[in-house]
């Protein structure tokens, strides 16, 4: 299952077509030439990957409403799925390793379920950020990538907000005609 979130509750998207997000919807340095549909494997990962990441949701003092789109992963051609690891190492999305963002390219996708949620509680942690260049360089010097990542994360002087837990209530199911 893949998820895509939207703060726009005024209309329902019935078919998603790859596009290049406008600058306000991309992180600094994110690829600006590959049309894509940004998705993740969980609502938490989607929230982490949204503009301003988890920090935008760090303080939920009043419920926030969000539209959730679910997609059946089996309806997506495998070659059209770009993983968080690929996004990170190609330096197309520098925080994808932490946020779990995937891209769907080369095909349209249709949601299997659409609903609105109201966020009640959000748990945000600071995840250490390691630039891909530092990771690649360290990998060239050893055969133990897990140990390298731990060491690099310990030395990291930057972090990315990662949403690890949420509480929400589904407030409206939206039925779309296929």
pLDDT, tens digit (0-9, with 9 covering 90-100), for 30-73: 888 999 999 999 999 999 988 776 777 766 677 789 999 999 99
pLDDT, tens digit (0-9, with 9 covering 90-100), for 66-94: 999 999 999 999 999 999 989 988 989 88
Does residue 164 form part of some domain? yes
Q: Is residue 145 part of a domain?
A: no
Tokens 């990662």 found at = 162
The total of structural domains in the chain comes to 1
> Within 10 Å of residue 17's Cβ, how many Cβ atoms?
11
Q: Is the separation of the CB atoms in 175 and 137 below 8 Å?
A: no
From CA 141, how far away is CA 14, in angstroms rounded? Answer: 48
> Is the pLDDT at 21 greater than 70, yes or no?
yes
pLDDT at position 165, please? Answer: 87
- Whether 49 is covered by a domain: the verdict is yes
Which of the residue ranges 27-31, 123-127, 131-135 would you say has the lowest mean pLDDT?
131-135
Question: Would you give the DSSP letter of residue 33?
Answer: S
Give residue 104's domain range. 2-126+160-174
């Amino acid at each position: 299952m893949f998820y895509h979130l939207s703060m726009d509750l005024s209309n329902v998207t019935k078919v998603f077509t790859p596009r290049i997000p406008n600058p306000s919807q991309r992180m600094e340095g994110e690829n600006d030439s590959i049309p894509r549909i940004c998705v993740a494997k969980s609502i938490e990962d989607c929230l982490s990957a949204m503009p301003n990441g988890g920090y935008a949701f760090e303080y939920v003092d009043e419920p926030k409403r969000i539209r959730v789109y679910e997609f059946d992963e089996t309806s997506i051609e495998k070659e059209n799925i770009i993983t968080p690891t690929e996004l990170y190492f190609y330096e197309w999305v520098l925080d994808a390793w932490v946020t779990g963002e995937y891209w769907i390219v080369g095909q349209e996708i249709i949601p299997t379920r659409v609903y609105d949620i109201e966020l009640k509680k959000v748990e945000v942690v600071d995840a250490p950020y390691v630039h891909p260049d530092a990771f690649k360089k360290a990998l060239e010097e050893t055969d133990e990538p897990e140990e390298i990542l731990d060491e690099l994360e310990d030395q990291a002087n930057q972090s990315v907000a990662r949403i690890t837990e949420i509480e929400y209530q589904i407030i409206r199911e939206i039925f779309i005609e296929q």
